[in-house]
Chain A
Amino acid sequence: MTARACPAAIDVAAGAALAIEAVGFLGMGAHGLGRNLRRYGPLAESVRHAGFQCLSADAAAWSKSAVATTPYEETSVSDFVLANAVAAAQRVIGSHEKITLSAKDWEVFYDALINPPEPNEKLKEAARRYRERVGG
């Protein structure tokens, strides 16, 4: 990971399930795009309504695309543009994916951050082996 690991953030106002499903979607090639465009209709809708609030180093590149600069109110969104919008949203969600946790999961997650567990023996051994292997 480099220092530019968080290149972009976008508020697509999509629900948790959508955000998490997007992870799977991201791994898909263009082949599955048509089929999943239909499936991800709600996301495309969110993308349009979010008006693409790009807050990133990539914003300059993005702003050159029609998708990023056209307010949704003025657009009759063709399937082509919509396809680009969804693909672009997937890229951004992927590059800085927001994951929403349930109350129970959050509790487990947050508790571990506040009280970080000691690494277990296997992890410690693994670290020793790794240091030997790569020379620290």
Chain B
Amino acid sequence: MDELSLVIEPLGSHHDRVAFSCGEPALDAYLQRQASQDIRRRVAQVFVAIGDAKIAGYYSLSASSFEKDELPPTLAKRLAHYPVPAAVLGRLAIDREQQGRGLGETLLLDAIRRVVRASTTIAVYAIIVDAKNERAEAFYGRYGFRAFASEPRRLFLPLETFEKLGL
């Protein structure tokens, strides 16, 4: 694939998703059977990287908010923005033919840029990623994402960290 020809755009009905295969059946199935429905219902936004007229990779973004199970009253008073709104990068997958070329990184940064730009109009304080396996967990860890102790496959970084990237 010619890197320069790569286009990242919202998933649409004209994209052929049947041929997509990333090696993780759940992620293939999501793109093929669930993604359009989620977009229609506004459960998630799905973006695809197109190279050579094929889907080379995709990611999904959705909204979420974080709160503590039982917040001590003293702390609750200090939290002006409680619960904390966040963006969730729920899925990120690269077609097998395109793996090992840094496309995962490109999609991650594309997602980050989209969230940073959206944060000028909606409140978002962090980006959460859900890693599907150990390899994905390590991938996000390398970029500095921090894991939750009780849920190591779920990692996060505050939006302010991403704002410093000048995307």
Contact of B61 among A1, A7, A108, A133 (CB under 8 A): A1
Whether B157 contacts A27 by the Cβ 8 Å rule is no
Q: Which A residues lie within 8 Å of B85 (CB)?
A: 6
B81 → chain A closest CB, angstroms? 9
Q: Which A residues lie within 8 Å of B161 (CB)?
A: 116-119, 123
Interface string of B43-85 (1 = CB under 8 A from A): 1110000000000000001111111111100000001000111
Which B residues have a C-beta under 8 Å from some C-beta of A?
3, 6, 8, 26, 29-30, 33-34, 38, 41-45, 61-71, 79, 83-85, 87-88, 90, 102, 105-106, 108-110, 113-115, 118, 121-122, 125-126, 128, 130, 142-144, 146, 148-151, 156-162, 164-167
Whether A91 contacts B126 by the Cβ 8 Å rule is no
Interface string of A119-136 (1 = CB under 8 A from B): 110111011011101100
A49 → chain B closest CB, angstroms? 20
Chain A 62-116 residues near chain B, CB threshold 8 A: 91, 94-106, 108-110, 112-113, 116
Whether B149 contacts A108 by the Cβ 8 Å rule is yes
Known: A118-B164, A123-B144, A130-B113. A26 touches B43 (CB 8 A): yes
Select from chain B the residue with minimum beta-carbon distance to A88. Answer: B41
Whether B144 contacts A16 by the Cβ 8 Å rule is no
Total of A-B residue pairs, C-beta within 8 Å: 167
Whether B64 contacts A96 by the Cβ 8 Å rule is yes
Whether A99 contacts B64 by the Cβ 8 Å rule is yes
Whether B126 contacts A109 by the Cβ 8 Å rule is yes
A132 → chain B closest CB, angstroms? 10
Compute how far the CA of A131 lies from the CA of B113 in the bound complex, rounded to whole angstroms.
10
Known: A5-B87, A5-B118, A97-B62. A27 touches B30 (CB 8 A): yes
- Is A4 interfacial (CB-CB < 8 Å)? yes
Known: A95-B63, A108-B149, A117-B161. A29 touches B33 (CB 8 A): yes
Select from chain B the residue with minimum beta-carbon distance to A30. Answer: B33
Q: Which A residues lie within 8 Å of B42 (CB)?
A: 4, 7-8, 58, 95
